[in-house]
Amino acid sequence: MTSNWKVGIDIGGTFTDVIALNINDGVVRTAKVQSRSSDPVASISSAYRAVGIDWADVSDLMHGTTMATNAIVENNLAPVALVATEGFCDTLEIGRQNRRELYRLEVPPKLPPLVPEKYRLEVAERIDAQGEILTPLTETEVERIAGAVETLDVPAVAITLQQCFTNDEHEARLGQRLQSVVPYVALSHKMSPEPREFERTNTTVLNAALMPLTAGYLEDLQQAAGNGTNLHLCHSAGGMASIAAMQDRPLALALSGPAAGVAAAARIARELGLTQAIGFDMGGTTTDTCAVIDGKVQVDGNQRLAARPVRQLMVAVESIGAGGGSIARVQGQAIRVGPDSAGANPGPACYGFGGHQPTVADANLVLGYLDSEQLLGDSVRLDSQLALTAIRTIAQAFDLSVQEAALGIYQVANANMARALRRVAVERGLDARTCTLIAFGGAGPMHAVALAREFGITRVVVPKFSSVFSALGCLTAELSYTEQHAVRISSTAWQADEFEDIRQQMYERLARPLTAAGHALDSLQARHVALIRYAGQSGTVEVSFTPPADHNALDAEFKAHHQRLYGFMTDEPWELETLRLTVSAATGNDINVPLTTAAPATMVAPETQCWFDRDRSVTTPRYPRETLAAKQKIEGPAIIEDQWSTTVVPPGATAWSDRSGHIHIDTGGAA
């Protein structure tokens, strides 16, 4: 049998999204199925059935998963032993001086360390900042550590030695020996070859703790796929990588799903020529927001997962617990929405699967935005009576009508998401009012215009395939590998040859898996970023360059960027602290399904009553998205819906579809 389908799949907390492309005739199929959190491979099999294909039909599977993120957030991690340089085994416990909550003294200032004291071991060795060995690592010491790790009976060990990023000899020797003692070993010079030992140690421990958990899943995935399917996983920097590359670095799968959505948002921004955009992905469990500048994904190497620092390249996404399944409750004299979610099982009350607590989805149904007559994805019939019963618990607490309570839930959810959007804009130095909001996910287009109006954003874009957008991002993302490595070269002692040697070694290492996958070396693309700071500064400034690096050009670019970010620059010496390099290859999985409908959209359910304020309902037409004609103007109020997604066009807003099927909405200014 010929395998002629390329498939993108994103397994979320509530739904699994799938988009399949037939490489012979260009046919595209999409679907959503309920996620099975206990069996991700079963979620993929279910998604295949929903689009009418089987494992044997798939030539390439591009896959995004929340497995690593959920394990970290839920603290479902394997026990780990930590091996550190003598005198540094308590680095995890000491951490940084800043508190988690500055003004809430009842909150413990720090999280407990990932590795308890009894699992932390010290090894006698030392390397200085120049890579010179001060205290040799003896074979006797290696054997002592191997014996101590063996007695701990743990499945994984993290090795984080001082200055290993300048000389990895000691870490490599220890790692090689310990591989015969424990199944999984993580080395910090491979995970985060940079200074800042606390962040580097935390990153390496998290990776080691994930290795036993993800190994079984990756093995099951390979077994289900067989030899006929090429498997690729979406990594946290927004590209795709092979399973072989991810087996030793499962932490790179953190933010896998959101990263795919960001990659797709960047693609749409480039297609539409948007210089400043904000991606808004609202699903069933979480909302992810991100900035897209000049069509590029914003990547950061210093982030947090579940309040723990991670020194790893990840898309700069702000995630909060706000989605269609977010549970609403009474808290004091206010309504609180999320962060807990009804998830896929039992789901919102209106799904009829046993859920009874009021959720955002129930509120949207009561307000008339969702249609109880529509069968979602050929599998879910919404029950308006169950939604009314759930929302009534909130209404009675505040002596409100059910519609007023539903509107309150809708507005509180929007306020939660507005805070996340504001943080993304401020941290990137953006004026949100000048941005375009790209709304996707199952619930994003329902809330997008109301959210945009809070910021004075005048333009919203709802892309084609918006309800399975992260799956689309998986399918169309580039194959890419990214690495960040400390170089620490001063502007007053510029070492061009040494820097070029480091860059070339990184390039060869990152290009190797791409050429092994059949991509020609001259077809690969590389993006170089120098992270530069003034001597004594903590933070760095990102400066893109084309090799070979020119000292004068870097000097000018660094000062210009510093002036723009901080309002000043000086002629003081600076240091090129770190080199970031991304090597990528195009997948050729572009999807272009132009809009061909010429006739005006057909109104259905013209008497639908929707609530946009607390005073009265408004008669609102509903339009099937697939029948929209290009450039046909639709004045709000209106509802545009497809099989799994609903776009709300409130009064005062105007929507139209372009020839590619993207919906553009003029929000009509601030509400």
Give the pLDDT confidence score for residue 597 in this predicted structure: 46
pLDDT digits (tens, 9 = 90+) for 239-277: 888 888 888 899 998 888 788 888 899 999 999 999 999
> Do residues 516 and 652 share a domain?
no
What's the CA gap between 30 and 53, in Å, rounded?
A: 11
Single-letter code of the amino acid located at 370: L
- Secondary structure class of 149 (helix, strand, coil): helix
Average pLDDT of the chain is 88
pLDDT digits (tens, 9 = 90+) for 416-430: 898 888 888 887 778
Which run of H or E residues covers position 83? strand 80-85
Question: What's the mean pLDDT in 378-382?
Answer: 73
Sign of the C-alpha dihedral computed for residues 187, 189, 195 and 200 taken in this order:
negative
What's the CA gap between 179 and 199, in Å, rounded?
A: 24
Give the pLDDT confidence score for residue 280 in this predicted structure: 92
Question: What's the mean pLDDT in 223-248?
Answer: 87
**Structure tokens, 643:** 């099989």
> Do residues 87 and 207 share a domain?
yes
pLDDT digits (tens, 9 = 90+) for 392-412: 999 999 999 999 999 999 999
What's the CA gap between 553 and 545, in Å, rounded?
A: 8
> Do residues 433 and 293 share a domain?
yes
Domain assignment present for 319: no
> Residue 159 sits in a domain of what CATH number?
3.40.50
Report how many domains make up the chain: 6
> Do residues 225 and 296 share a domain?
no
Domain assignment present for 65: yes
Domain assignment present for 596: no
585, 601, 634 - which closes a domain: 585
> Residue 547 sits in a domain of what CATH number?
3.30.1490
> Do residues 518 and 617 share a domain?
no
Give the pLDDT confidence score for residue 45 in this predicted structure: 92
Burial of 286 (0-12, 13-18, 19+ CB in 10 A): buried
Residue 368 makes CB contacts below 8 A (sequence gap 6+) with: 608, 609, 610, 611, 617, 620
411, 433, 467 - which closes a domain: 411
What's the CA gap between 367 and 611, in Å, rounded?
A: 5
Most distant CA pair in the chain, distance: 83
| E strand residue ranges, 492-625 | 525-534, 541-545, 574-585, 609-611, 617-619, 622-624
- Taking a C-beta distance cutoff of 8 angstroms, is the pair 447, 562 a contact? no
Angle of the 384-398 helix axis to the 402-427 helix axis, nearest 10? 90
What's the CA gap between 453 and 436, in Å, rounded?
A: 12
Asked if pLDDT for residue 589 goes beyond 70, the answer is no
Which run of H or E residues covers position 553? helix 551-566
What's the CA gap between 365 and 182, in Å, rounded?
A: 53
Give the pLDDT confidence score for residue 652 in this predicted structure: 94
Single-letter code of the amino acid located at 540: T
CB neighbourhood size of 110 (10 A): 15
> Do residues 440 and 309 share a domain?
yes
> Residue 16 sits in a domain of what CATH number?
3.30.420.40
What 637-643 contacts at long range (C-beta under 8 Å, 24+ apart), as own/partner pairs, is 637/610, 637/612, 639/369, 639/371, 639/608, 639/610, 640/445, 641/371, 641/374, 642/467, 643/30, 643/376, 643/377, 643/378, 643/467
Domain assignment present for 602: no
Phi, psi of 158 (to 5 degrees): -110, 130
Give the pLDDT confidence score for residue 288 in this predicted structure: 85
**Tokens 């970031």, residue located:** 580
437, 453, 476 - which closes a domain: 476
Residue 512 makes CB contacts below 8 A (sequence gap 6+) with: none
> Do residues 516 and 657 share a domain?
no
Residue 296 banded pLDDT, cuts 50, 70, 90: confident
pLDDT digits (tens, 9 = 90+) for 320-349: 777 888 899 998 888 998 888 887 678 899
According to DSSP H, which parts of 81-168 are helical? Answer: 91-94, 139-152
Give the pLDDT confidence score for residue 596 in this predicted structure: 45
Closest to 430 (Cα-Cα) out of 242, 565, 240: 565
pLDDT digits (tens, 9 = 90+) for 518-530: 889 989 999 999 9
Q: Which of 12-16, 214-218, 407-411, 562-566 has the lowest mean pLDDT?
A: 12-16
Domain assignment present for 417: no
> Do residues 90 and 192 share a domain?
yes
DSSP single-letter state for residue 55 = G
Q: 621 versus 564: which is more confidently predicted?
A: 621
Question: What's the mean pLDDT in 363-391?
Answer: 85
Domain assignment present for 592: no
What's the CA gap between 129 and 133, in Å, rounded?
A: 10
Give the pLDDT confidence score for residue 193 in this predicted structure: 86
pLDDT digits (tens, 9 = 90+) for 9-55: 998 777 788 999 998 888 889 888 888 777 888 999 999 999 999 99
What's the CA gap between 435 and 507, in Å, rounded?
A: 35
Domain assignment present for 671: no
CB neighbourhood size of 26 (10 A): 10
Domain assignment present for 162: yes
Domain that holds residue 300: 256-313+425-476
Give the pLDDT confidence score for residue 129 in this predicted structure: 87
Give the pLDDT confidence score for residue 377 in this predicted structure: 55
pLDDT digits (tens, 9 = 90+) for 626-637: 888 888 899 989
> Do residues 402 and 431 share a domain?
no
> Do residues 493 and 541 share a domain?
yes
The partner residues of 437 in beta bridges, in order of sequence, read 278, 460
> Do residues 449 and 554 share a domain?
no
Single-letter code of the amino acid located at 79: P
- Taking a C-beta distance cutoff of 8 angstroms, is the pair 42, 57 a contact? no
> Do residues 206 and 85 share a domain?
yes
Cα-Cα-Cα-Cα torsion 649, 320, 384, 409, nearest 10 degrees, comes to -80
